Chains A and B, each alone.
Chain A
Amino acid sequence: MHKRSLLLAAAVILAAFAVGLVFFFMFSAPYGDGLEKTMENAGVDEPAPVYRAPLEYGDSYPVALAMGGLGFIIVLGSAFLLARMMRKKGK
């Protein structure tokens, strides 16, 4: 993948995320996923976390968009560095 195709891929993914997030807030935001629904069916409340993370996804479109963008960059950078380290180790 060349630098230009990488930037294009990142732009396409982030644009798709920005659009998808609109539909998320329209149709899915108030509802839990399969595991949360299972916990609800069993009458189990979500226990307190052992570790409190510095950020959360947010409950509004702008915050979620910003957090998604930030997460995208963090994951991209971490996975890139890790893959490069693994490549160097394997050489």
Chain B
Amino acid sequence: MVEVHIPDGLIDPLVAGAGWLLAILILAVATRVVNRKVEDRHIPLMAMLAAGIFVAQMLNFPIGGGTTGHLVGAALAAILLGPFAGAVIIMVILVIQCLVFGDGGVTTLGLNFLNMGFIGCFTGYYIYGAFPERYAKAGMFVAAWLAVFLGSLACAAELALSNQMSNGTFGISTVIAFPSMTIYHAIIGIGEGIITTGIIAFLARVSPEMLRMPKITSGSPSGPIVEVATDA
């Protein structure tokens, strides 16, 4: 089966180290916020969502031209739980994928977290929150698409920077990394948008109380409440 995250040995050690440093700082802030705001009712949702995203990430779907993509799930997690708790559960998934299943490198775990956990969750949450309630579904789709697209843009930048810093020993040249990563992920993002919107619409039917749970944010006690018309 395909392994889906940045592997060891592809990124310049300095770039990978910077990724780890940033990831540790972001996780320190995220865990602090979650510590303060998490309630008992969030705990089962956090666990189930993490496990569900883990298996969903194993299911690559074809996007044409012999290429596949898979759900990242960061926007989904952030819309349901808030960006901080979303980032924490994405890190749990990445650590287990890396240490137990060899999916993604140990040296690149920080960058994988930045691309999927940090960019994915914060983009997903705040873009979704910017949409008025009557366009909630459109907001979810756009948020999920952008979460994947911006994450791929960051990954392309890391590959290109590695290539330049190491004079070609690591990474991928700018002229290939940017167009290739962004074109594939612009298409993969459509799948992410459809799946994210579909899962939330399904949850709105079977467990609407889950969607009304307060979101874990650094500001007000609860973020935007997810309301999706159940007759859609």
Whether the Cβ atoms of B54 and A35 lie closer than 8 Å is: no
Q: Which residues in A have their C-beta under 8 angstroms from that of B60?
A: 24, 28-29, 31, 33
User: Do residues B155 and A35 form an inter-chain contact, with CB atoms below 8 A?
Assistant: yes
Is A33's CB under 8 angstroms from B92's CB?
no
For the complex, would chain B's binding face be called helix, strand, loop or mixed by DSSP majority?
helix
A74 to B159, CA, bound (A): 31
Given the contacts A1-B210, A79-B50, A82-B92, A33 and B40 also touching, CB distance less than 8 Å: no
Nearest-CB distance from B139 to chain A (Å)? 24
Q: Does B204 contact A (CB under 8 A)?
A: no
Partner of B7, one of A10, A29, A47: A47
In the complex, whether B79 has a CB less than 8 A from a CB of chain A is no
Residue B140 at the A interface, CB < 8 A? no
- Interface size on A (CB < 8 Å)? 61
Task: Confirm or deny: B87 has a beta carbon within 8 angstroms of a beta carbon on chain A.
Answer: no
Check A74–B55 contact: CB distance below 8 A. no
B58 and A68 contacting across the interface, CB-CB below 8 Å? yes
Render B166-177 as a binary contact track against A, CB cut-off 8 A, 1 for contact.
000000110011
Distance from B80 Cβ to chain A, minimum over Cβ atoms (Å): 12
Distance (Å) between the CB of A38 and the closest chain B CB? 4
Once the chains bind, are A50 and B107 in contact (CB under 8 Å)?
Answer: yes
Residue of A13, A34, A55, A74 near B48 (CB, 8 A) is A13
Chain B residues contacting A90 (CB-CB under 8 Å) are 34-38
The reply on B70 being an interface residue by CB < 8 A is yes
A42 and B9 contacting across the interface, CB-CB below 8 Å: no
* B136 interface residue per 8 A CB criterion: no
The contact string, 1 if C-beta is below 8 Å from chain B, for chain A 51-78, is 1111111110000100110011111111
Chain A contacts for B5, CB-based, 8 A = 35
Cα A82 to Cα B34 in complex, Å, equals 11
Can you spell out 23 A-B residue pairs with CB atoms less than 8 angstroms apart?
A9-B48, A13-B55, A24-B1, A24-B58, A24-B60, A29-B1, A31-B66, A33-B67, A38-B184, A39-B10, A41-B176, A44-B172, A47-B10, A55-B102, A71-B96, A73-B51, A75-B50, A75-B54, A75-B93, A76-B51, A78-B50, A78-B95, A83-B34
A residues in contact (CB < 8 Å) with B: 1, 5-6, 9-10, 13-14, 17, 20-21, 23-24, 27-29, 31-39, 41-42, 44, 46-59, 64, 67-68, 71-80, 82-84, 86-87, 89-90
Q: Which residues of B contact A (CB under 8 A)?
A: 1-10, 31, 34-52, 54-56, 58-63, 65-70, 88-89, 92-93, 95-103, 105-107, 152, 155-156, 159, 172-173, 176-177, 180-181, 184-185, 188, 207, 210
